[in-house]
Amino acid sequence: MDPHVLGTAAVLPEHYVDQETLIAAFRDAWAEKHFNAARLEQLHRAVQVSGRHLALPLERYRELRSFAARNDAWIAAATDLGEKAVRAALMRADLKPSDVEHLVFVTVTGLSTPSIDARLMERLGLRPDVKRTPIFGLGCVAGATGLVRAADAVRAHPGGVAALLAVELCSLTLQREDLSVANLIASGLFGDGAACVLVGAERPRRGPSIVATRSVFYPGTERVMGWDIVESGFKVVLSPQVPHLVRARIREDVDAFLATQGVSRQEIRHFICHTGGPRVLEAFEEALELPAEALARTWESLRSVGNLSSASVLFVLRDLLDSGEAKGGDLGLPSSCTVPSRALWGGSPSLPSCSRKDCATGPSRRSAIDGTCASSWCPGRCRSRAGPTASSAIPTISRSPWRSSPCPSCTAPT
Amino acid sequence: MPDPSEVATEIARVLRDELGLSREVKPGDDLVSDLQLDSVGLLTLVVGLEDRFRVALAEEDASRVRTVAELAALVAQRAGGN
């Protein structure tokens, strides 16, 4: 029997801050280095995020002046939020902590030894023989990849339950002194959150099955996304080439993966896509020729809470399963994004064309006549965009009641 | 006051060093259709030029700019106080 999803949960820290408040908090730092600070505010608005949930109250961040201080805060907050996510998933799946046999923990926003999964053992009352797999460094793609690892564990031990826990506290990686455009985009895009997915095989079926997975590595992409580790912590590497990479690769790789299962892209009913960022999602939609609204949940997640790195695709998965729209027999394609992975699960969204609400110049520049952007800084000015875009990820397919197969290999930025 | 060729050199530098463009940049290149700059790419380029030449480009300015040469001329003009 294929591994299947037993339950999902997604949790957010309680400290919500709207985007305009965050812009105001950054404004003074921008003005120190950049001649036209107002231009930089456009970058924050361009990511289309309305606000973020933060691990700490906003005023606490100024106190965290060193990597050590930020990482200590990360360990405490990640442990608390991770506990909430696992407990919520167990409750929703009607399972007990003692049912968990394997715990996969993924993150890219903090360091801890013992790892967060170890710190949760006693707090959650997990069995001492639980097999733990902490994974650091996969980035956004770890959501889909972690699901694959959990499914692998269940295939090896079908009687057990595997838990995937993703905790990302991006706010605690912020480098105030880094005023590069990449960091300014990241500071406007990324938020904090945690998600847990429980996977089993010989348990009553509650969610989609994971029937096939694939990872794809893209050579020569080491500087597309990642961290430079500096004395102050994690300095973001975020190349504007990510959307181009998605456009160049995603369709061919997704189609090749689906072909191995005898499935066409048109048969995928649910695309569970990492939130990436506006450009990456547009590239994803275009490349896969997705119909309008196919990525609606991903866009909504991006706008409401920002990019949560590896947790994002799991938030979208939770939203889809809670909606009840996924029916027996549907095919889904989960996909995470970061340079080398994608996931396939099922669904299909699409994108609005040239209304350019994503435009960095903001909604006030939009034409009231045809919805196109009046700003020449908007790339939509000379092209009529129609069609969707997307980000990359790794696929998974499941069957009965659905099929979903996650496969991690993704490309995309935030 | 910089001349347009100095600005064009800086444009090429930003495109290469900050946006990862590997091909040669020509004065007649369209910023969007030839250089494939999206809104983030365009803003990265504009921020670099504003910081380097201490100018603030307005939306009205942008509406007249499509090519590398036009952008270089605009920045040179603004830096000269026009």
Residue A50 is encoded by which pair of tokens? 């309305």
Place of tokens 């990479």: A245
Who among A34, A239, A383 is closest to B20 (CB)? Answer: A239
Q: Which pLDDT score, from 0 to 100, does residue A201 have?
A: 95
Residue A327 in contact with residue A400, Cβ under 8 Å?
no
Average pLDDT over residues A7-23: 95
A142 or B36: whose pLDDT is higher?
A142
Average pLDDT over residues A26-42: 81
Q: Is A210-404 in CATH node 3.30.420.40? A: no
In A240-322, the DSSP E strands lie at 270-273
Q: Which helix (H) or strand (E) holds A16?
A: strand A15-18
The dihedral through the CA atoms of A299, A305, A309, A311 has a sign that is: negative
CA–CA gap between residue A342 and residue A395 (Å, rounded): 5
User: If contacts are CB pairs under 8 Å, which of residues 213-232 in chain A contact chain B?
Assistant: 223
CA–CA gap between residue A99 and residue A161 (Å, rounded): 6
Say whether pLDDT at A382 is over 60. Answer: no
Q: Which pLDDT score, from 0 to 100, does residue B12 have?
A: 96
Say whether pLDDT at A406 is over 70. Answer: no
Residues of A forming the active site: 140
Average pLDDT over residues A233-241: 87
The class that CATH gives domain B4-79 is mainly alpha
Record: contact A379-B18, CB cut-off 8 A? no
Say whether pLDDT at A361 is over 50. Answer: no
Q: Which pLDDT score, from 0 to 100, does residue A271 have?
A: 93
Say whether pLDDT at A278 is over 50. Answer: yes
Q: Is A4-200 in CATH node 3.40.47.10? A: yes
Tell me the range of A109-113, A380-384, A386-390, B29-33 where mean pLDDT is highest.
Answer: A109-113
CA–CA gap between residue A316 and residue A233 (Å, rounded): 29
Contacts of A375 in chain B (CB under 8 A): 59, 62-63
Supply the ipTM of this predicted assembly. Answer: 0.83
Q: Quick count: other Cβ atoms within 10 Å of Cβ A329? A: 11
Q: For chain A, which residues make up each domain, given as ranges?
A: 4-200, 210-404
> Given CB atoms, is A355 within the 8 Å cutoff of chain B?
no
Who among A36, A43, A361 is closest to B59 (CB)? Answer: A361
Q: Which pLDDT score, from 0 to 100, does residue A223 have?
A: 86
Say whether pLDDT at A314 is over 50. Answer: yes
**Mutation target vs B (from A32, A33, A36; most B CBs, 10 A cutoff):** A36
For residue A254, give the amino acid letter. Answer: V
Q: Which pLDDT score, from 0 to 100, does residue A28 have?
A: 79
- pLDDT tens digits along A100-155: 999 999 999 999 999 999 999 999 999 999 999 999 999 999 999 999 999 999 99
The closest of B42, B37, B44 to B62, measured between CA atoms, is B42
Residue spans of alpha helices (H) in A110-141? 116-124
Q: For chain B, which residues make up each domain, given as ranges?
A: 4-79
Record: contact B32-A381, CB cut-off 8 A? yes
Q: Which pLDDT score, from 0 to 100, does residue B82 have?
A: 59
CA–CA gap between residue A391 and residue A307 (Å, rounded): 12
Residue A268 is encoded by which pair of tokens? 């995928």
Asked if the domains A4-200 and A210-404 are classified in one and the same CATH topology, the answer is yes
Helix axes A181-189, A37-46, angle to 10 degrees: 50
